[in-house]
Structure 1
């Protein structure tokens, strides 16, 4: 009989230990140390304040598509409405959801409605930057002093009037008649 009580105690201890595993594991980490890899999910079109400012009522569908890109949703039942939806879930950054609705009257834009404040391009990039480092990017254009400090390129030699190298005579492409 002592073996049955020992077996029951072992089974009880195993069940107790297994029931505690659920409390140790959460969706974010395991035992506070290991975090699972999460796939970065980006869907839709990023529409910034600068892009929305370029879209004006009276523009054609093609002009709106050139500025904002192709809409994520076009509905056969609502042909005069384009939905631009943008979602992003990135590890270490706050999830984002934005909705912009373009309403048309035939082929002409009637209105552009955003479901909230659209970010500026720099604000958007800062919101998805998970490194949070102070990156100092070099300037994209040279200053006037830097342009003056550049060495003067050597002048190219004047092109010769006659071709350099052997001259060849090729037969005509079509036979003479």
Structure 2
């Protein structure tokens, strides 16, 4: 076989690899805590850690050095190529919810404790 034939076979073989990536189906694997705004709307200042776990579930990341900061992450890398990521960080003081920040809107009545 001539050098041209070997080169042609190599090029066709390597181009098939990139074609294979487009043909093979890969499932979407969500990772973390999937939260919606309606879940976050249930949060109130002064809620205990147990109440927050009841509403949102356990946080995906627990920090051994700072137990007053909980992180809820959700990441999805679908086949469409558009990465979807949501984050919610809760701050506690004396095991009671004080504040949060992240990709969710703060509820209008967040500053109003549950007992009122």
TM-score by length of 1: 0.52
Q: Find 1:39's aligned residue among 7, 17, 27.
A: 27
Q: Find 1:106's aligned residue among 77, 94, 113.
A: 94
Structure 2 residue aligned with 1:15: 7
The CA deviation string for residues 53-98 of structure 1, in whole angstroms up to 9 with x for no partner, is: 1111110000111111110001111111111000123334733111
Name the structure, 1 or 2, with higher relative contact order (CA <8 Å, separation 6+). Answer: 2
Q: Does 1:86 align with 2:35?
A: no
SS of the residue aligned with 2:72? strand
Q: Does 1:63 align with 2:51?
A: yes
| Distance in 1 of aligned mates of 2:85 and 2:48 | 27
| Distance in 1 of aligned mates of 2:8 and 2:92 | 63
- Segments of 4+ in structure 1 off by > 4 A? none
Equivalent pairs counted in the alignment come to 105
Q: Does 1:76 align with 2:68?
A: no
CA drift of 1:43 comes to: 1.0
Q: Find 1:30's aligned residue among 17, 20, 23.
A: 20
TM-score by length of 2: 0.76
Q: What RMSD over aligned residues (CA atoms) do the two structures have, in Å? A: 2.3
Q: Find 2:85's aligned residue among 84, 97, 106.
A: 97
Structure 2 residues not aligned, in runs of 5+: 106-116
| Distance in 2 of aligned mates of 1:103 and 1:96 | 24
